[in-house]
Amino acid sequence: MWAFHIPQPTQPPSLFNPPRTPPKLPSSSLTLNPSISNSTPNHNQLIQSLCKQGDLKQAFKLLSREPNPSQRTYEVLILSCADQNSLSLAQSLHSHISENGFDQDPFLVTKLISMYASLDSLDDARKVFDKTRKRTIFVWNALFRALTLAGFGEEVLGLYRKMNRIGLPSDRFTYTYVLKACVASECMVSLLNKGKEIHAHILRHGLEGYVHIMTTLVDMYARFGCVAHASFVFEKMPVRNVVSWSAMMACYAKNGKPFEALELFREMMIETQDSAPNSVTMVSVLQACAALSALEQGKLVHAYILRRGLDSVLPVISALITMYARCGELELGQRIFDRMEKRDVVSWNSLISSYGLHGYGKKAMQIFQEMIHQGVSPSPITFVSVLGACSHAGLVEEGKKLFDSMRKEHGIHPSVEHYACMVDLLGRANRLEEAAKIIDEMRIEPGAKVWGSLLGSCRIHCNVELAERASHRLFQLEPHSAGNYVLLADIYAEAEMWDDVKRVRKLLETRSLQKVAGRSWIEVRRKIYSFVSVDEPNPQIELIQSLLIKLAAEMKEKGYSPQTKVVLYDLDESEKERILLGHSEKLAVAFGLINTKKGETIRITKNLRLCEDCHSFTKFISKFTNKEILVRDVNRFHHFQNGVCSCGDYW
């Protein structure tokens, strides 16, 4: 998720501006002869000026001749060492500070910890903290901040417990950093519980009025996927700013609730007349439009971005590229990319993943090679994008070469995500034994993503033996994920192993797990409509049902044959066909046929994989009605036209 910049209150004291209390000087320096002291030249102002001019080496030379460096001089030197990224000079300065008795000055200690953190020398930062005898809250906060930014969340929470035991009260900055620490490491359930405890501390101390604390709390719950908790905190906030609204929108957009994100954006525009959305806000809104394939909404947002002058912000441009691609307008995304004056790796990743989503694996590979040629170093996400593109296009050998090049040519060690891509690549190509071998030879724990990729591939090719192996591990790793049970039941059903289907369904019931309902969205005249089943209220539902029944009957005469095997119940064929006609994507297609003009493209988004029958049905519809239909499922784009799908029946 995007990291939000949380504005800090400007009034002192704060973590970055604690009170400047001069240190106690050795008694010998208090008894110096005044005449000698007055005759000694004072170089403090000159040292500070040299630092501001960037001449740090000359400043250090002058420092060696200054008998009484001031606190301000040391502060400026510390900041200069951080700015010039010089660890050796930083360590020399630290020694000088210690020799002059300033190493116990709480103000300078906080600056030293921050300096070492910016120089990626956390060991030195820890040593400064450990050697400080009188640790003010500002000193604790400085270390909390350094460790949190470096991803050592559990260490921060351990220190926080220690601080509480000695009775030092937290301030509003403490709570901000320890909340961020809960998600700085892997999002474990134990850390979520710790976040809830901190939430309780905040309420007990009456700090819910601080907008930056509550915004961080929203973000913390969002990172754990606790949308209801985040929404509750947001709704109870007495004061909200643009960062608060953006955090809640990002929570919805990142956790599968794009419709709610767009609704919140509209609410924000109405309520906050004096607070315009910023670039972070617009990225979340574009992500929501992309998730819903809401092209018209996305175009309106694009126009707003142009009016606000946010079209030069790289994350916004990358989000625009992705939005247009996920709405089926790949050419518009390419056009935005071509007009970019400056491109970062995120922009390239957006374009690569866009072509991969549409099944253009070879084009994605070409863009990857062009990125390398232009001197842009690929990131781990780049390889996830390009390997995914190879998977959608069936480019097995090309994908294997890319995977091998990660470590050999680019110094990137494959993560779980990369292994999951490789298992998916081989599995889709029906090279399941090879995919299983990759898992067996992994040097890291495969995890749910890798086993999930294998189970999904077993579903495509009906490999019962490997499916049972994968699902056994998934039931241990994700005991509350109903999707894994449903996939296994699908495989058993296709193999006509009905007793095993009943057994898996019984497991779902006894563990109180519910299958994620298939949902489809369609945008018509800038309004987004959602379909789950025929039982969902819709003023046109009777018209939709009658149209589907009529089309199915007419298409059967043209060769359409309902693929009833996807229905997991042991029912007669007519009842299975009736169930198939209630699938959400068919309802959305029929709604689109009723409510769009001739020549207008129907755009649909599905939250699950497109089933074989809906795929076949939509191919027939596109030819039978002479209509262009775009369907984006959880895997890729399907471009239906004249009875043919762009995926080539490979998804």
355-358: long-range contacts at Cβ-Cβ below 8 A with a sequence spacing of 24 or more?
Answer: 355/325, 355/330, 355/389, 356/385, 356/386, 356/388, 356/389, 356/390, 356/391, 356/392, 356/393, 356/636, 357/325, 357/326, 357/392, 357/632, 357/636, 357/637, 358/325, 358/330, 358/636, 358/637, 358/639, 358/646
State the average pLDDT over residues 504-517: 88
Beta strands in 471-539 (DSSP E): 520-524, 527-531
Q: What is the pLDDT of residue 540?
A: 85
pLDDT, position 537: 67
Interatomic CA distance for residues 352 and 373, integer angstroms:
15
Higher confidence at residue 272 or residue 88? 88
The pLDDT, as a whole number, for residue 37 is 39
Cα distance between residue 117 and residue 119, in whole Å? 5
Indicate the Cα dihedral angle 233, 238, 244, 248, nearest 10°.
Answer: 30
The two three-digit tokens of residue 317, written as one number: 């441009």
Entry pTM:
0.80
Mean pLDDT, all residues of the chain: 88
pLDDT of residue 189: 67
Higher pLDDT, 531 or 25: 531
321 pLDDT tier (thresholds 50, 70, 90): very high
- How does pLDDT run across 90-122, given as a tens digit for each residue? 999 999 999 988 999 999 999 999 999 999 999
Q: What is the CATH topology of the domain spanning 414-516?
A: 1.25.40
Whole-number pLDDT of residue 570 = 72
| Per-residue pLDDT tens over the stretch 169-183 | 999 999 999 999 998
Asked if the model's pLDDT at residue 363 lies above 80, the reply is: yes
Give the single-character DSSP code of 364: H
Question: What are the domain boundaries of the chain?
Answer: 414-516, 520-645
Encoding tokens for residue 572? 């007669």
List all residues 6 or more positions away from 577 whose beta carbon is below 8 Å from its beta carbon.
552, 562, 564
Arithmetic mean of pLDDT, 464-470: 96
pLDDT digits (tens, 9 = 90+) for 533-559: 656 666 788 899 899 999 999 999 888
pLDDT tens per residue across span 621-644: 999 899 999 999 988 999 999 999
Per-residue pLDDT tens for 222-266?
999 899 999 999 999 988 999 999 999 999 999 989 999 999 999
Which residue type is seen at 159? L
pLDDT in the model for residue 366: 97
Q: What is the pLDDT of residue 186?
A: 65
- Supply the pLDDT for residue 96: 93
| Inter-CA distances, 210 with 203, 226, 239, 241, 267, Å | 11, 21, 8, 11, 22
What are the phi and psi torsion angles at 148 (to 5°)?
-65, -45
Residue 598 clears pLDDT 50, i.e. is over it = yes
**Distance (Å, whole) CA 253 – CA 132:** 44
